[in-house]
Structures are given as C-alpha cells and as structure tokens.
C-alpha cells in the first residue's frame, strides 16, 4: 500500500495569514502516460463528510474559493490557503488514487491562532 | 442536484452482518464509480472499494475476503455488506461518488455518513 504522511498534524494560523499543509507519499503518484499526479485534497468539518477541494494535485474543484491551491509533483505535495478565513477551520486530508487501495493521509487539523 | 442518501443498521453485535445502502439522486449511476469509505478514530479514513454501473468492482485487498459491494441500477443505488463484524469494524461509513480518471478521479459527492457500532 502507498503510505501517505501529512505534516504537521496540527496547525494554528492567524486570520488572513497563509496556511500550508504538506503531504508525502511513499512512492511517486505521477502517471507518466498523462503527466497527472493522482492526488486529491479534502476538507472535513465536524459532523460532515469530507469535501473535495483539489484533484490532479493542483486542479481546484468547481465552487472552491481560489484561496485554496495545490502544488507539488511526484511524491511531495502541498495544500496552501493563501488568506485564512474563519470558515477554513477543519481537518484536511490528502488521498492518493494512483493505486489500490486509495489511501489517505492521517489528517491535519487547522485552527485559528 | 446530486445527492447521496445512505441508511443501514447502526448497532450490531459481533459476528452479525453490516448492511448499508446508498441511494443516488439527481444523476444516473453510469459514468462514475461508487465508493464506500469508513472513518474510525484509530484508523482514520479507510477506502473500502468502489463499483461502476455495470458491476465492475475493486476492493481494498485488506477487506476483499469479507466485503461485498453491489449495485442496483433499477433503483439507482448501491450497497455494502460486511459479514462477521467485530469491534474493529466500528466506524462512520460513507458512500461517495468518484469521478472517472479523465474527469479527475476525486470523490466529489458524499453521503451524510452512518455510524456503525459493533458491541456485545
């Protein structure tokens, strides 16, 4: 199985400041035939299912604010929130869909400082 | 508007069978993969498997010997069965829609989740 490791486990950022969450996979998620990284990012708030933010490592899902961006390639990825809003408090997960089973990171809890 | 509505028994005894169903509203099953995921404090988010409208199935190898995912296109719904449950199967179970790879592959719509507790 591909192991997904997120860092940090928790993060406190001031409103309006930048937040960055890292995700490292135990093997490359880059599919050479289409030059796509098979990685997604999700946001989960208490009592709710996860919500898709980013797929292909850097493509924002429809309706997601542009303060959310994804970057990285191969085995190292980052989710960045450019200007933290109060409603962004949540747990964030990365997921690889390069190979079965489609594994998730352990989650990063984002709070307001 | 796409909605996934899931239901099933929430309290099971060890060795009983977990059975969950997810009804899909607003879109036909074809063109997507329909996924089950569970979430527990100890194991985090765990991908169980997915099925397409024609019955093509992929399971998590760690659960493959126990789990069955099926689809009923006439009712536009899909189901999960997990027999012989144990305490380790206690989790919130989610159904979700997966976009096919050419469209990105992410899980873009989710059910509300069902807490399944296994306890004697």
What is the token pair recorded at A101? 């089973």
What is the token pair recorded at B92? 């919130």
Query: Which residues of chain A have a CB within 8 Å of the CB of B99?
Result: 55
CA distance B90 to chain A (A): 16
What counts of helices (H) and strands (E) characterise chain B?
Answer: 0, 11
State how far the Cα of B69 lies from the Cα of B80, in Å rounded to an integer: 5
The average confidence (pLDDT) of chain B is 95
Q: What is the pLDDT of residues A5-35, one digit of tens each?
A: 999 999 999 999 999 999 999 999 999 999 9
Would you call B106 and A55 a contact, using CB atoms and an 8 Å cutoff? yes
CA distance B108 to chain A (A): 5
Would you call A40 and B107 a contact, using CB atoms and an 8 Å cutoff? yes
Residue A3 has pLDDT above 90, yes or no: yes
Residue B55 has pLDDT above 90, yes or no: no
Q: What local confidence, expressed as pLDDT, does residue B61 receive?
A: 97
Query: Which residues of chain A have a CB within 8 Å of the CB of B58?
Result: 100
Within an 8 Å CB–CB cutoff, is residue B106 touching chain A?
yes
B66 pLDDT tier (thresholds 50, 70, 90):
very high
């Amino acid at each position: 199985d591909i192991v997904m490791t997120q860092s940090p486990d928790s993060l406190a950022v001031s409103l309006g400041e930048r937040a960055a969450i890292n995700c490292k996979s135990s093997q490359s998620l880059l599919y050479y035939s289409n030059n796509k990284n098979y990685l997604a990012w999700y946001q989960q708030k208490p009592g709710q299912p996860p919500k898709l933010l980013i797929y292909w490592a850097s493509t924002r899902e429809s309706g997601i604010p542009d303060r959310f961006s994804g970057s990285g390639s191969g085995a190292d990825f980052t989710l960045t929130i450019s200007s933290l809003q109060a409603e962004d408090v949540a747990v964030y997960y990365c997921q690889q869909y390069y190979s079965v089973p489609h594994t998730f990171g352990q989650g990063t809890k984002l709070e307001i400082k | 508007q796409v909605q996934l509505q899931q239901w099933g028994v929430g309290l099971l005894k060890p060795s009983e069978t977990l059975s969950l169903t997810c009804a899909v509203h607003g879109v036909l099953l074809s063109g997507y993969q329909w996924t089950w995921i569970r979430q527990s404090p100890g194991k985090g988010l765990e991908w169980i498997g997915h099925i397409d409208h024609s019955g093509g199935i992929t399971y998590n190898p760690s659960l493959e010997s126990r789990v069955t995912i099926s689809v009923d296109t006439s009712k536009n719904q899909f189901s999960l069965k997990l027999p012989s449950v144990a305490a380790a199967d206690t989790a919130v179970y989610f159904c979700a829609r997966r976009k096919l790879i050419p469209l990105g592959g992410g899980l873009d719509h989710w059910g509300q989740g069902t807490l399944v507790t296994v306890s004697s």
